[in-house]
Amino acid sequence: MSGNINWRSIVGWRFIGFLLVATVPFCISEGLNSDGLYLLELRNGLRDQFNRLGNWNSTDRTPCGWHGVKCTSDNDPVVHSLRLNSLNLSGTLSSSIGGLVHLTELDLSDNGLTGDIPREIGNCSKLEYLYLNNNQFDGQLPAELGNLSWLRRLNVCNNRISGPIPEELGNLSLLVDFVVYTNNLTGPLPRSIGNLKQLTSFRAGQNAISGNIPAEIGGCESLELLGLTQNNIGGKIPKEIGMLGKLKDLILHSNQLSGFIPEELGNCTSLVTLALNDNDLGGSIPKEIGNFKSLRMLYLYRNKLNGTIPREIGNLSLAREIDFSENYLTGEIPSEFIKITNLSLLYLFQNQLTGVIPKELISLRNLTKVDLSINQLTGPVPFGFQYLTKMIMLQLFNNFLSGSIPRGLGLHSRLWVLDLSNNQLTGRMPPHLCQHSNLILLNLESNKLHGNIPAGVINCQSLVQLRLVGNGLTGSFPSDLCKLVNLSAVELDQNRFSGPIPPVIGNCHKLQRLHIAGNYFTSELPKEIGNLSQLVTFNVSSNLLTGRIPPEIVNCKMLQRLDLSQNRFIDALPNELGILLQLELLRLSENNFSGDIPSALGNLSHLTELQMGGNSFSGEIPRELGSLSSLQIALNLSNNNLTGRIPEELGNLKILEYLYLNNNQLTGEIPSTFENLSSLLGCNFSYNDLTGPLPSVSLFQNMAINSFIGNKGLCGGLLRGCSGKSSPSVPSLERVGAPQGKIITAISAAVGGVSLILIVILLYFMRRPAETVPSLQDKDISSPDSDIYFPPKDGFTFEDLVEATNNFHDRYVVGRGACGTVYKAVMHSGKIIAVKKLASNREGNNIENSFRAEISTLGKIRHRNIVKLYGYYYHHGSNLLLYEYMAKGSLGEMLHGASCSLEWPTRFTIALGAAEGLSYLHHDCKPKIIHRDIKSNNILLDDGFEAHVGDFGLAKVIDMPQSKSMSAVAGSYGYIAPGKHAASF
């Protein structure tokens, strides 16, 4: 019996235990409501590095006390708000979010969430506020967002969302704010946007939205802000925008908008900001612009606007910033600007404005920045400008201004930039330009100023750049400049300065640029030059300097450009020049150097130009020069006393374009390795003792006789045949009959006498720097409709490009931009080039002569950090730019691609290379070029991650039928587009 009872007890307890175990999960789940379960599932998809959601406990009955969760306060609480912003969360957003059907607010902004926005979010039908901005969401905007009929604010900016804005957006009749800027959205704007009667703000800038602005936009009757900047939107601005009577900010810059500015826009009388810059808008500025009585900011720059500035501009009495620069505006500057009493910024540069600068502008007491540069303005600089107390920047360069600079300029204002260069100004430099020690840049170059540099400028402690090139200034080198701790650039070229360069020059420790060419400086270079450890460019050419090059110059380890040409330097070069490993340009021509050419120059691996002609160098050409793999612009050893054979190693200079070895005493044959010089555009071997056949390549075989005369033993090509048959040659006096010889002698004596007189006269005018290498001449074109006007030297045709890209098939595309598509083309020779295909010229096939010169100029730019332009085709409606191919693509792609693996040393190298390229464009390029569109997508990288600056305005100009020379790349120093604060719109 007792045994039976035992057994039953055991069975009973086991059954009770089973029930307890079985009911535990049920009790727990019964304790946590459904919203809590959905939240736990949502947390499972997140990575919470700092345990910010640590109190999300599954044992709680409700999630109402959890971090970021808010519930209703009734008896059966439900989650109505979830705020998890700025918690360093990562991971994905679970589809369980769709279970929170009572949610009115969801804020997950400022985290690192990835993946798609789940379509289940459309189940949150009561949602009013949805903030997913500043994450890394990708995929498309789900069409189910259109189910959120109560939604008032939607912000998904700063993500990686792609695809179009769904048409279902028009279902959100209560939507007030729509913010999607800085994503990868494509496709056109939905026409259903016109249904959004409550919409006040639409911000979709920095995407790739295309198509036109739909006319239905006029239905957004409450709209106050429309921001579509930096997209690919084209077509005309719809006149229906004029129906938006409440519009305050219209930000459409950096698109492809064309046509006219509609006069109906004048109905938007509440406008505060109007930014239509960086488009293709044409026609005149409508006079209805004067209706914007509340306008503060007006940006129309970088378009194709023409005609005159309407006098109604004076109605904008509250305007603070007006920028009409980089257009084709004509006529005079209207005096009605005087009515805009709050105006602080006025940019009208790079137009075709004429007449004088209105003296009435001096009554605008709030003016701080004025730039009227690159126009055709005449007359004086208004005398009253010196009394504008808030003026900090005045730029009037590249005009035809005359008269003297107002003497009190700078006395009453804290000027920090003054650029009056390239005018016809006379008189002396004003003494008070740096009265308030604020001046950073002073550029008065290319005028007719005389006298000494004022003490107030020489002692200006804030000064960074002093540029006085091309005047008639006199005096000695201003020694006190070397007390200025911020000074980085001194340019005194082509003046009348004289005397020795003082040893105190060594105190200019921060100096990076020292240009004093074309003056009358005498004596020797002081050894203290070696103290300038930051010096990058040093040009003392065309002076009267004597003596030896001080060996201390090799301490300037950062030197990239050294020009000592056209002086009276003597003796041998320091062997240590070979340790200046950053050198890119070395010009030593037209001096009295002697001795051997140092073989150590072969170590200068960055050298692109080496000019040593017109000296007394002797000995053999060092074979080490064949190691200068970057040598591209020229190798000039002409007019020396060099002997021996031409080293065959020079055949390794495969990118060399000009080679001058004439007027020496070289012997032997022209090496057969010269057949490898595929980039050679010109060479000269005349007046040596060379023998044997010319290299068999067409360049040598077809070259003019003048390149080889004076070498009795050379044959082949246009010279005498190598079989012994003679070709036309230059006769010598020995072969001329005696009577003829006497006549020739008499004539020669007479000509020689006259020449001697002319030489004496010419010597005075030869004091200015001269180009050692002849420039490329523009190829003559018989017809304005020619298929090609700047041909690539490799000789490939348009048909070759079509074949290499399979008729520009998409599979050869390596990049797309607002101005065109870039293709990779592998030519028959194996050379890889980048072909940028642009839209055709909208005004026909004719290309202006001035623009041919512009492309030719850009095509001659040679710097290792500038993308090389090989050529340009215009063929049956296709504009093609041919560029050096960059294997690693753009820096932007590297930084913002799926995986960024750039280590910091590589990033530093890229930044340094880009800076060096820009420095060349800004300072050493002739003419100087200001890029003005520097961004990561315009920095291209080669196989070794070397940075190359590209796309500097060329593509935009090339489609302009009325391009003025260098119109899109010239600019004003220190210019920053004033509308950049609106970039995110």
CA–CA gap between residue 568 and residue 582 (Å, rounded): 26
Task: Tell me the residue type at 340.
Answer: I
- Least reliable range by pLDDT among 126-140, 361-375, 721-735: 721-735
Q: Is residue 231 located within the same domain as residue 380?
A: no
| pLDDT band at residue 818 using 50, 70 and 90 as cut-offs | low
Contact partners, residue 696, CB within 8 Å, separation at least 6: 675
The predicted model gives 624-637 an average pLDDT of: 95
Three-state SS annotation for 709-772: CCCCEEECCCCCCCCCCCCCCCCCHHHCCHHHHHHHHHHHHHHHHHHHHHHHHHHHHCCCCCCC
Report which of residues 980 and 917 the model is more confident about: 917
Range of the domain at 642: 575-730
Half-sphere exposure of 244 (CA within 13 A, CB side): 29
| pLDDT band at residue 689 using 50, 70 and 90 as cut-offs | very high
Q: Is residue 321 located within the same domain as residue 404?
A: no
* Cβ neighbourhood burial of 95 (10 Å; 0-12, 13-18, 19+): middle
CA–CA gap between residue 636 and residue 644 (Å, rounded): 17
Q: Do the beta carbons of residue 161 and residue 185 sit within 8 Å?
A: yes
Spatial strand order of the sheet with 112-115 comes to 46-48, 89-92, 112-115, 136-137
Cα 505–Cα 527–Cα 541 angle in degrees, nearest 5: 70
599 found inside a domain: yes
| Number of domains within the chain | 6
- From 121, 156, 191, the end of a domain falls on 156
pLDDT at 362: 93
The predicted model gives 916-937 an average pLDDT of: 69
Distance of alpha carbon 41 from the chain centroid: 49
The predicted model gives 840-856 an average pLDDT of: 44
Q: Is residue 311 located within the same domain as residue 403?
A: no
Answer positive or negative: Cα dihedral of 938, 943, 945, 949. negative
Transcribe 581-644 into DSSP letters.
TT--EEE--SSEEEEEPPGGGGG-TT--EEE--SSEEEEEPPGGGGG-TT--SEEE--SSEEEE
Q: Is residue 236 located within the same domain as residue 343?
A: yes
pLDDT at 776: 31
pLDDT at 874: 59
Query: At 39, which CATH number?
Result: 3.80.10.10
9 found inside a domain: no
Torsion of CA 500, 502, 503, 504, to 10 degrees: -170
CA–CA gap between residue 650 and residue 675 (Å, rounded): 11
554 found inside a domain: no
The predicted model gives 127-153 an average pLDDT of: 97
* Among 275, 272, 269, residue whose Cα is nearest residue 299: 275
Q: How many CB atoms lie within 10 A of CB 778?
A: 14
Cα 840–Cα 846–Cα 851 angle in degrees, nearest 5: 90
Q: Is residue 621 located within the same domain as residue 709?
A: yes
CA–CA gap between residue 723 and residue 541 (Å, rounded): 47
Q: What are 191's two structure tokens?
A: 């026409």
Peptide bond into 927 cis (omega under 30): yes
Long-range contacts made by residues 963-966, C-beta under 8 angstroms, separation at least 24?
A: 963/848, 963/850, 963/851, 963/854, 964/352, 964/850, 965/850, 965/851, 965/853, 965/854, 966/854, 966/857, 966/927, 966/929
* Among 867, 863, 949, residue whose Cα is nearest residue 608: 863
**Would the pLDDT of 753 be above 50?**
no
Instruction: Give one word for 116, left, alpha or beta, with left for phi > 0 and alpha for psi -120 to 50.
Output: beta
Q: Do the beta carbons of residue 983 and residue 952 sit within 8 Å?
A: no
pLDDT at 860: 61
The predicted model gives 107-131 an average pLDDT of: 97
Letter string b/e over residues 579-589, b meaning 16 or more CB atoms within 10 A of that residue's CB: ebebbbbbbbb
CA–CA gap between residue 29 and residue 214 (Å, rounded): 52
Q: Do the beta carbons of residue 859 and residue 867 sit within 8 Å?
A: no
- Least reliable range by pLDDT among 468-472, 920-924, 937-941: 920-924
Q: What are 565's two structure tokens?
A: 């040409």
Q: Is residue 149 located within the same domain as residue 198?
A: no
- Least reliable range by pLDDT among 7-16, 454-463, 771-780: 771-780
| pLDDT band at residue 957 using 50, 70 and 90 as cut-offs | very low
3 found inside a domain: no
Q: Is residue 761 located within the same domain as residue 803?
A: no
Output the pTM of the full model.
Answer: 0.78
Q: Is residue 387 located within the same domain as residue 287?
A: no
Percent of the chain with pLDDT over 70: 81
CA–CA gap between residue 324 and residue 890 (Å, rounded): 31
- H or E element, residue 918: helix 904-919
Q: Is residue 585 located within the same domain as residue 636?
A: yes
Q: pLDDT tens across 395-420, in order?
A: 999 999 999 999 999 999 999 999 99
**Would the pLDDT of 291 be above 90?**
yes
**Would the pLDDT of 878 be above 70?**
no
pLDDT at 56: 96
Map tokens 């200001």 to a residue: 930
Indicate which residues carry an active-site annotation. 933
- H or E element, residue 345: strand 345-347
Average confidence score pLDDT of the chain: 84
Q: Is residue 921 located within the same domain as residue 844?
A: yes
CA–CA gap between residue 236 and residue 862 (Å, rounded): 40
pLDDT at 897: 64
- Least reliable range by pLDDT among 435-439, 483-487, 795-799: 795-799
The predicted model gives 838-866 an average pLDDT of: 54
CA–CA gap between residue 821 and residue 806 (Å, rounded): 15
**Would the pLDDT of 375 be above 60?**
yes
Q: Is residue 624 located within the same domain as residue 739?
A: no
- From 156, 188, 208, the end of a domain falls on 156
984 found inside a domain: no
**Would the pLDDT of 766 be above 70?**
no
Letter string b/e over residues 859-877, b meaning 16 or more CB atoms within 10 A of that residue's CB: bebbbbbbbbbbbbbbbee
The predicted model gives 755-782 an average pLDDT of: 37
Q: Is 138 helix (H, G, I), strand (E, B) or coil?
A: coil
**Would the pLDDT of 748 be above 70?**
no
301 found inside a domain: yes
Q: Is residue 447 located within the same domain as residue 436?
A: yes
Q: pLDDT tens across 506-533, in order?
A: 999 999 999 999 999 999 999 999 999 9
Extended strands (E) in 766-858: 788-790, 813-817, 820-826, 832-838
Contact partners, residue 404, CB within 8 Å, separation at least 6: 380, 425, 426, 427, 428
The predicted model gives 305-322 an average pLDDT of: 97
| pLDDT band at residue 768 using 50, 70 and 90 as cut-offs | very low
The predicted model gives 276-305 an average pLDDT of: 97
* Among 153, 210, 211, 160, residue whose Cα is nearest residue 181: 160
- From 730, 759, 779, the end of a domain falls on 730
388 found inside a domain: yes
Transcribe 636-692 into DSSP letters.
E--SSEEEEEPPGGGGG-TT--EEE--SSEEEEPPPGGGGG-TT--EEE--SSEEEE
**Would the pLDDT of 315 be above 50?**
yes
Query: At 794, which CATH number?
Result: 1.10.510.10
515 found inside a domain: no
**Would the pLDDT of 879 be above 90?**
no
Q: How many CB atoms lie within 10 A of CB 962?
A: 13
